[in-house]
Amino acid sequence: MMPFPVIPARLEALRLRYASDDSGALADYIPELAKADPSWFGMSLCTIDGHVYDCGDSDQEFTIQSVSKPFVYALALADNGPTAMLERVGVEPSGKAFNSILLDGTNRPHNPMVNAGAIATVAMVRGVDGRFDRILETLGAFAGRTLSMDDSVYESERETGHQNRAIAHLMRTAGVFDLDVEEVLDVYFRQCSVLVTSRDLAVMAATLANGGRNPVTGRTALPSEAVGDVLSVMFTSGMYDYSGEWAFETGMPAKSGVSGGIAGLIPGQAGLGVFSPLVDDRGNSVRGTQVCQDFSKDLGFHLFRNRTDSLPPIKSVSIGSARHSYRVRSIAETQLLKHHGNRITAFELQGPWTFIAVERLMRRVGELDSGFVILETSRIGSVDEVAGALMNEFADSIAANGGTLILSGTVPTRLTGLSTVTFPTIDEALEWSEERVLSNLSPEGRPGSTVTVADSDLGRGLDADAAEALARAGRMMRIAEGSAVVHEGTAARSMYLVTSGHLTASIGDRRVASFGPGAIFGEMSFLTGARRTATVVADAACRLVEFNDIGALSPEIRERVHRNIAVVIAQRLTVANRTMTDG
Amino acid sequence: MMPFPVIPARLEALRLRYASDDSGALADYIPELAKADPSWFGMSLCTIDGHVYDCGDSDQEFTIQSVSKPFVYALALADNGPTAMLERVGVEPSGKAFNSILLDGTNRPHNPMVNAGAIATVAMVRGVDGRFDRILETLGAFAGRTLSMDDSVYESERETGHQNRAIAHLMRTAGVFDLDVEEVLDVYFRQCSVLVTSRDLAVMAATLANGGRNPVTGRTALPSEAVGDVLSVMFTSGMYDYSGEWAFETGMPAKSGVSGGIAGLIPGQAGLGVFSPLVDDRGNSVRGTQVCQDFSKDLGFHLFRNRTDSLPPIKSVSIGSARHSYRVRSIAETQLLKHHGNRITAFELQGPWTFIAVERLMRRVGELDSGFVILETSRIGSVDEVAGALMNEFADSIAANGGTLILSGTVPTRLTGLSTVTFPTIDEALEWSEERVLSNLSPEGRPGSTVTVADSDLGRGLDADAAEALARAGRMMRIAEGSAVVHEGTAARSMYLVTSGHLTASIGDRRVASFGPGAIFGEMSFLTGARRTATVVADAACRLVEFNDIGALSPEIRERVHRNIAVVIAQRLTVANRTMTDG
């Protein structure tokens, strides 16, 4: 079809909602930061499978500042392991401002998300001279591109960072590290001055959401063992003394920085990057905080609210050219569906139905060229409000493009309005779509609504006299809607050719096949005298020809008939095998 | 088979590891609590599908104390919504002891997990006189049974709760609530005195892990919207001023109480309840804390370390009586497998392979009666250390019971040692198991290693002369191991009967069928002149009979042969359809 505009529109609406909010102020404790344009506002979303949505000033570079902390902490964890890290840097929320000089009861900085802890973390990164290079490389591995530094911000931080100098000297005196204070601070100031965009932050966060593997580049930025530790600390301490309320309200492990960046994520789903330089008095971006809160509230991004599933929202995708319905088809129809069945795609959906699930579905549908989109919804566990709304926009979008959305199975209440066509099973939805596709084709090769013995697959290869003889060997029958023709378990020897109408075969209450004009059924009992394996009921008034004993016909005709039966069944077997191996 | 003892043995080992640790002390600030037996030690695990493992003193009742706080907070949230609750009770970690009298900057208690917040929460529960009854009923809905109160502990708390009285009066004065202080405290003391067991705590926690629905009773204890809020607060504040480190080290939303209980959980996986009355100076059970830490470290229970999947670890279960391999079988063999195939079960596994995944698999295998257990492991994302160890114990357990474990697909490194039998595809594993099942049966009805035209399904119903004529119409062939007999895409008109050996059919590199003595292949080209749809290669030296043109035979023989072909194919179609609908 085409990419659906639904998700980009949502993101843009969210951005516009806060673009005119001018509250907060530019951070000025580093003079260079006060030169930012207060109107800058970018946001990006990176899914766990590496698709990035950008919005607003998503390519505006800014210095990463404190958003670097969890990523450098990740590097230090990978270098030292959690036990050695815990000896030097705590993991307890401090209840204090980001630049507090206070250490905890054991003379450690409270956690690596406040300045004291971040400076101590720098001292733990391995490599004497190469410390900053390793940090820059790590940040780049998370972002999926080579990053550079803003020299003037670095100079500005280095010249004015008295509070951080005080903190660093205090820690040096307390024995938190024993390196040269200015060297450690220099690396820290450089780290804070690395330039990123909201898109970078989204990819960096998505890398954490993806267990340490960058979903865009496929490269591992962090051993997966360390990811859990980083997320724990982000969740409890990432937003300074606002962390508890943040955890409660947005439910995202996240990190903010005074230059106005926020990186947040939901494990197994996506990473979010927001940039807007106006910050509140805790040092968190005002618009960024609002966007994250709305992401959580309106779009259902919450660690504990939606289970952080890696359960893929799409259980299976079947293209109609490879997977056919159980409708028993003539050889000609089977060929037509093989060529034109790609106009139909059936999706089996599963799991909690959330923003990110709809995002994935729309993206997949957009990549295909199917006018008939079947959604089997029985395995959807729940549908949250935003998913319901997005699915409605998606349905409208399909209709506007001349497509048809078809539902099958148990349909959750929030999705019942999506389509006017709903079937109890995916197979019936497939069959209905196939009929629509076939009827849109030129009539050539299609059996009409009425088929005779002579032009059926059963009479194939017989001359007119032989076909006539075969037809006379059969018995014409009319079947009323709802009547059963054969019954599962009964002894029988007859076979039926459908000349008009439609019937369904079931084993118990399981629908296993359906038959239209030209189809034969009951051939196994006819061939071997075996009991009926299914019950066949007319869905509409039907005409059939029943064949019971063709012993009176010539051996040549009988040979041909048996061969034709073999061919018809072999053809069905081919379709069945294709469905099994592809389905 | 039988229930595997692997998980109970692990839990018992964990309990024994700490049973002799006598550090900590009985809480004595409520005199009645000091009467507990310090040796009591119970633990229980309740899975998301409602299976409970108990261990040690899991039926010893004790007063719930502070473990009640998240559940009563849940009730208050359901009564008032998060916004109204936030106005009265904060959600920020306090950094203070559980019984601190300090309020936060806006005169609210810091969070509902400390005493001040819990008392304020009681005042928010609706119902003037029925407040305690509603609390008792809610706790019972979480536990899945009717709970009662310990009167003497209640009396003791009421008489000695001066600190809580001070806190409550301070909050009354600050306007946190405007109810009668003694009435609110009375409900609070009753709430703390409700009797539970470690099993109750596990079920209560599992109810939160299951989105608010009790997995044992199936009853909804809490609207799912409120679950996320409760878990956020438990995670950031559930373990008092040890919460950050707890979140980092155990990664479980959890709540402890001074009587020695801890309830912890992993969303979408399981709830854990531990009880041991010796507590440390923060008021957390010493052995309980150790058990939870080991659960996290050794058993991989960590919110951020294992993604908290609801992805079921078992993607599909196929019983060999319903799902057959692609091996083309004689009618007799097909019947035998229909009756004896239940000795084979094939599991398709998926997702990260963790403690809870192995637990589920072992439970399922234990319920079945299959000596041949096939595990298709290609979709396993990762195997953590404990899962690897448990799988080895599981494999030993199967072998000790005379069963056979078979692996198929891509096998993760940690699982390669489980079995000496590994196949590239689940189908080959199925076929191998079928051969073993068939060869263990009486030889009656089984084709031998060599089949003649006369006793094959193709010659069925022909008298000796006719069978002889048919055999003469064919051409005997010897095929060397590795040679292709037919090639996908080539024009051809011949059909083959396998008289000895084994061959495999592939479309591209996809294996689609295999053939042993008695099987026919190539019949579609024989019947219709269609091009070969697959390539067939001899897996071992074979003998075949090739039929090209049987026009020289009498029409009666030809009719019978075509009918036999139809029967053979119809039989395959039946098997294919069964695989499709059951598989």
Which residues in B lie closer than 8 A to residue A248 (C-beta atoms)? 82, 86, 91, 229, 232-233, 236
Q: Which residues of A touch B328 (CB under 8 A)?
A: none
Residue A228, pLDDT score: 86
Considering the domain architecture, whether residues A287 and A340 belong to the same structural domain is answered as no
Main-chain phi, psi angles of A541, to 5 degrees: -55, 135
For residue B302, list chain A residues with Cβ-Cβ distance below 8 A.
228
CA angle B182, B184, B189 (to 5 degrees): 90
Cα–Cα separations (whole angstroms), residue B255 to B86, B142, B235 = 20, 14, 9
Q: Chain A within 8 Å of B322 (Cβ-Cβ)?
A: no
A401 with A490, same domain: the answer is no
Residue ending a domain, among A272, A299, A326, is A299
Pick the residue from chain A with its C-alpha nearest to B224.
Answer: A305
Euclidean distance between CA atoms A524 and A492, whole angstroms = 10
Shared domain for A318 and A293, answered yes or no, is no
Over the stretch A68-77, which tens digit does the pLDDT of each residue have?
Answer: 999 999 999 9
Local confidence band at B582 (pLDDT 50, 70, 90 cut-offs): very low
- Compute the Cα dihedral for B431, B437, B439, B443 and give only its sign: negative
Q: Which of A408, A440, A472 is the last residue of a domain?
A: A440
Q: Is residue B546 part of a domain?
A: yes
Task: Indicate which of B462, B512, B520, B559 best probes the interface with A, i.e. most A CBs within 10 Å of its own CB.
Answer: B559
3 state DSSP class of B89 = coil
**B184 and B225 fall within a common domain:** yes
Contacts of A401 (CB under 8 A, 6+ apart): A1, A2
Which pLDDT belongs to residue A308?
43
* Mean pLDDT in residue range B341-369: 89
Identify the segments of chain A with pLDDT beneath 70.
Answer: 1, 305-311, 442-447, 577-583
Residue type, A234: M
Does one domain contain both B527 and B564?
Answer: yes
Q: Does residue A555 sit within a domain?
A: yes
Identify the closest residue of chain B to A381 by CA–CA distance. B310
- Asked whether residue B68 is assigned to any structural domain, the reply reads yes
Per-residue pLDDT tens digits for B21-67? 999 999 987 888 889 999 999 999 998 889 999 999 999 999 999 99
Assess whether B375 and B235 both reside in one domain.
no
- pLDDT computed for residue B334 by the predictor: 85
Q: Which of A455, A539, A546 is nearest to A501 (CA)?
A: A539
The answer to the question of residue B332 being in a domain is yes
Q: Which residues, including other chains, have CB under 8 Å from residue A137's CB and lie 6 or more apart? A: none
Same domain for A497 and A549, yes or no, is yes
Residues in Cβ contact with A412 at an 8 Å cutoff, skipping those fewer than 6 apart:
A353, A377, A380, A382, A383
**CATH number of the domain that residue B415 is part of:** 3.30.750.24
Option in A305, A565, A577 nearest B228 (CB): A305
> Which chain A residue's Cα is nearest to B326?
A577
Contact A209, A266 (CB under 8 A): yes
Tell whether B328 and B269 lie within a shared domain.
no
Q: Inspect the interface and report whether the beta carbons of B566 and A382 lie closer than 8 Å.
A: no
Q: How far apart are CA B523 and CA B532, in angstroms?
A: 10
B545 forms beta bridges with B476, B497
Q: Is residue B145 included in any domain, yes or no?
A: yes
**Domains identified in chain A, total number:** 3
Residue A449 lies in a domain: no
Task: Please indicate, yes or no, whether residues A294 and A348 belong to a single structural domain of this protein.
Answer: no
Q: For residue A69, what is the domain's CATH number?
A: 3.40.710.10
What CATH number did the domain enclosing A497 receive? Answer: 2.60.120.10
Contacting residues for A42 by C-beta, under 8 A, at least 6 apart: A54, A55, A56, A57, A58, A59, A60, A197, A198, A199, A273, A274, A275, A276
Q: Is residue A132 part of a domain?
A: yes
Q: What is the model's pLDDT at position A154?
A: 95
For residue B527, which residues of chain A lie inside 8 Å, CB to CB?
563, 566-567, 570
Cβ-defined contact of B307 to A245 (cutoff 8 Å): no
pLDDT of residue B508: 86
pLDDT tens digits, A488-498: 999 999 999 99
Same domain, A386 and A436: yes
Determine whether the interchain pair A228/B303 forms a contact, defined as Cβ–Cβ distance below 8 Å: yes
Tell me if B569 and A573 make a contact (CB, 8 A cut-off).
yes
Cα A172 to Cα A177: distance, rounded to the nearest angstrom: 6
Asked if B93 and A577 come within 8 Å (Cβ–Cβ), the reply is: no
Residue B478: name the closest of B548, B549, B546 by CA: B546
How close, in Å, is residue B82 to chain A by CA atoms?
9
Q: Write down the pLDDT at residue A310.
A: 53
CA separation for the pair A75, A148 (Å, rounded): 18
A206 shares contact with chain B (CB less than 8 Å): no
Residues of chain B in contact with residue A303, where contact means CB-CB under 8 angstroms, are 228, 232
Contact B573 A574 (CB under 8 A): no
> Closest-CA residue in chain B for A312?
B311
Rounded to two decimals, the ipTM of the complex is 0.72
* Calpha distance A322→A307 (Å, rounded): 34
> What pLDDT, in 10s, does the model give residues A265-321?
988 888 999 999 999 988 899 999 999 999 888 777 777 765 544 567 888 899 998
Looking at residues B306-314, what average pLDDT do you find? 63
A272 and A402, same domain (yes or no) = no
For residue B306, the model assigns a pLDDT of: 54
Tell me which chain B residue has its CA closest to the CA of residue A242. B92
Distance from CA of B56 to the nearest CA of A (A): 31
Give the domain range for residue B51.
Answer: 6-299
State how far residue A237 is from chain B, nearest Cα, in angstroms: 8
The pLDDT of residue A268:
82
Identify the residue with better confidence: B287 or B2.
B287
B509, containing H or E segment? none
Tell me the shortest Cα–Cα distance from A159 to chain B, in angstroms: 34
A315 at the B interface (CB within 8 A)? no
Q: Look at residues B258, B275, B299 and tell me which one is the last residue of a structural domain.
A: B299
CA distances from A505 to A489, A509, A526, A533, B109 (A): 13, 10, 17, 9, 67
Radius of gyration (C-alpha) of chain B in whole angstroms: 33
- For residue A219, is it within any domain? yes
Asked if A33 and A143 sit in the same domain, the reply is: yes
For an interface test with B, give the residue of A305, A457, A524, A533 to mutate (most B CBs within 10 A): A305
Sheet holding A344-353, edge to edge: A314-319, A344-353, A372-383, A404-408, A422-423
> pTM of the full predicted structure?
0.79
Chain A CB within 8 Å of residue B225 CB: yes
